[in-house]
Chain A
Amino acid sequence: MLTLLKNMLKEEFRIHTAMFSKWLFFIFPLIITLASVLISISISTIDIPTQYLILLAHGAFLFYGLSVGSFGLNAKDALKIRLGNISFLAYSSKILPISPKKVFMIFAIKDILFYLAFTIIPVIIGIAITSLIINIYTELIPILFVSLTLSFLYGLSLSFLISVLYSRSRQEFLIASSILTLALIITKNIWLNPETIISYFHPIAYFTTQSTQTLGYSLITPLILFAISIFLLETDEKNTHRDAKDLFKNLEKQISKRFQKTSSIISKDIIDMHRSIAGFSKIIFSFIIPISIVWFMLWFISETLVPIKYSILTFALIIGIVSTSIYNWLNEFDSLENYRFLPVSIKNIMDAKINLYLLISLISSSIILLTIVLSMNKINLIFDAFIIMITSSIYVFSVLIYVAGLTPNIAIYDAKIFVKYLAYNLPVLVTLYVITLADLDNTTMILLPLSLFILYIASKNISKAKKIWTDKYFK
């Protein structure tokens, strides 16, 4: 077991260093640490209640765990499509006397260790450095490390369980999630208050009480969730001969009315997403669920700790940013290998992805934003909210496609690319964020020209991306 884990870690390391230079790969945690120092120092200068910070930090780690945890969604598809025709140790169970559940458990442990080493520990080190610089809460750093890691594991294990349920059967998933949602709604008066959440979300409870019992609960809960997931994990090859009706012809005909030059690639991508086990549900995992959590957190904070006046605008900005995860999924299902021997240029492929991204992200983001605006009865903010959402979504996407091309899922682990991604995004997003918080008389008058300018830069980014990536992929 240890040998397999060691070799899986080696494999993970080699996948990344095969794509980027070793030093760029190893510098990535340093960048995270640096970013963590900068963010913690900036936060320490603002007068925010400690309770709020604790909640925010744990919420962020829970959210991070949830978003990376969907790897269990459909292990086979994810590995095959994401990593192509290369052979991986995760397939060892097929040729070695080792059970698939064991292989998958080790795969999960490997991923936990990987995320710990490359993101969580660097963040904590950054916070620790800050606490030493400003000389506060130094003694709490080890506790914070444990509680934040536990928050991450809560998210990861929960996401893993949801994913496994979904990949077993969509029906089981729907029944389980309906029961859970119903139970949460019925019992909302019991649990929907900050004290209950803080005391019953064990990682935070452990941070505040530091009791061994709470630590025990915090460890056991994700372990139980992982154990249930592995127990329920479907390992048999089923449906190995799946037939399907011809969707391409008619779909392409419809799409070519709007996107003539890229209709075939767009149609192929839509069919890919529709037919993969995870398919559109990945959009739910990577987009709607995180958005719901952020919405809940914003609501929770504004109701209990700090009144947030323009939460709708802030929320619109968050929707715009998170919606760019759709671009990652669009590339996850597709492989450049499918096009290498066809008369298709990188520009063609990028155009198709851009069109499809705009189509899916803007429609789904608009539905979510509209629902929230209407449910919170903030119709007066609808125009500004849409401007912010569209601008942030298109701008962050343009930066992503510019720095990471058609392999955003892998490229973002390259320190150089990640720094570029942050450097291009931060000034624009901070500006938009300030506008969402500022109590301006006429936000629209400032927002409209600014958005037009940002969208102009985004269009330039996209044009440059097509040129740069054509040269990079054909060399």
Chain B
Amino acid sequence: MTDKMITTEHLTKQFGNLKAIDSISIEIKKGEIFGFLGPNGAGKTTTINILTGQMKATDGIAKILGIDVNKHPVKVRENIGIVPEQENPPSFLTPVEYLEFISKIRHLKENKKDIDFWFDFLEFNEHKNTLCKDLSRGTKQKLMIAQAFIHNPQLVFIDEPLINLDPMIQKKIKTYIINYAKKGNSIFISTHVLEIAQELCDKICIINRGKIIACDSLKNLTKESKGNLETAFISLVEKNK
């Protein structure tokens, strides 16, 4: 098994005349928590969409767990977990049914215990039988987190991980993510919330206008700003305007 969870070489996506991402090359290793940061419209979600096989790259190579995502998008999605930016479980299923649905789609064996674990862990047992359309945004996000981890994937993509959640649940999830990575799994986090990135990530890439403007360990990236990621981020983005 390869040590590299994600490798991209000159990954490019063009929408008409707009280069949404421009020759991105990144590498994420086993056990890493990788932070993908950038201002609004920088190309973060497009990159995630390509890496998770939801969109085809115009040019370049992207390998996820050694699989070429442009050629085998479904196979890639079989092996990863994704928490999308917008939490959108099917309106008329309940959370229990949704996790059963996900388990069937992912060909998991009868896993009532695993499903129950997530309701207990994320503290939304009282909503397990409520139709998804009637759930609060926070509860929907809890459900989307549960569906992404339910099959214990080696790699999980999380787009804005904690934005609708209360501080107690945020804390729980952060701890879970750190421990999950310690087991040799990798997490790709895309976020605007720099505190989350600073707290969780080992390695950070900053994207601006479709190009990677910095990619290093958190320590190296914040060396000049005395460990402050916010200062480092603003300075790098301003420099590359």
Contacts and interface: CB of A to CB of B under 8 A. Distances in A.
Interface of A: 77, 80-81, 85, 239-249, 252, 263-265, 267-268, 271-272, 274-276, 333-335, 337-338, 340-345, 474-475
A242 B75 CA distance: 36
A272 B101 CA distance: 13
Interface in B26-81: 52-56, 73-75, 77-78
Given A338-B88, A338-B89, 5 more contacts: A239-B134, A240-B134, A271-B97, A276-B91, A343-B75
A241 B94 CA distance: 11
A244 B131 contact: yes
B172 interface: no
B130 A241 contact: yes
Nearest to B133: A80
Contact of A252 (B88, B91, B100): B100
A274 B94 CA distance: 13
Contacts of A242: 130-131, 134
A276 B106 contact: no
A85 B88 contact: yes
B129 A341 contact: no
B12 to A, nearest CB: 14
Contacts of A474: 53-56, 73
A78 B77 CA distance: 30
A277 to B, nearest CB: 10
Which of B92, B94, B96, B101 gathers the greatest number of chain A CB atoms within 10 Å? B92
A335 B105 CA distance: 16
A181 B59 CA distance: 63
A345 B74 contact: yes
Contact of B101 (A243, A264, A276): A264
A276 B77 CA distance: 29
| In the A-B complex, the 7 residue pairs with the closest CB atoms | A341-B82, A248-B97, A264-B104, A343-B78, A275-B92, A343-B77, A272-B92
Contacts of A265: 105
Contact of B129 (A80, A244, A249): A244
B86 interface: yes
A245 B129 contact: yes
Contacts of A340: 54, 84
Contacts of A80: 91, 133
Contacts of B78: 343
A341 B52 CA distance: 7
B189 to A, nearest CB: 15
Contacts of B227: none
B102 interface: yes
A239 B131 CA distance: 10
B94 A81 contact: no
Nearest to B135: A241
A247 B92 contact: no
B100 A249 contact: yes
Contacts of B130: 241-244
B54 A341 contact: yes
A247 B97 contact: yes
Contacts of A244: 94, 129-131
B129 to A, nearest CB: 5
B84 A343 contact: no
B232 interface: no
A248 B104 CA distance: 10
B94 A342 contact: no
B93 interface: yes
B68 to A, nearest CB: 14
Interface in B182-234: none
14 contacts: A245-B129, A252-B100, A252-B101, A263-B104, A271-B92, A337-B88, A340-B54, A341-B77, A341-B84, A342-B105, A343-B74, A343-B78, A344-B74, A474-B56
A373 B233 CA distance: 74
B73 A268 contact: no
A121 B218 CA distance: 64
B88 A246 contact: no
A5 to B, nearest CB: 28
A345 B105 CA distance: 11
A279 B97 CA distance: 18
A248 B105 contact: no
B74 A268 contact: no
B9 to A, nearest CB: 20
Nearest to A244: B94
A335 B101 contact: no
Residue among B77, B78, B86 with max Cβ neighbours from chain A (10 Å): B77
B88 A81 contact: no
Contacts of A268: 90, 93, 101
Contacts of A85: 86, 88
A30 to B, nearest CB: 26
A235 to B, nearest CB: 17
A243 B134 CA distance: 9
B96 A246 contact: yes
Given A341-B52, A343-B106, A248 B88 contact: no
B54 A252 contact: no
Nearest to B159: A341
Contacts of B133: 80
Contacts of A333: 92
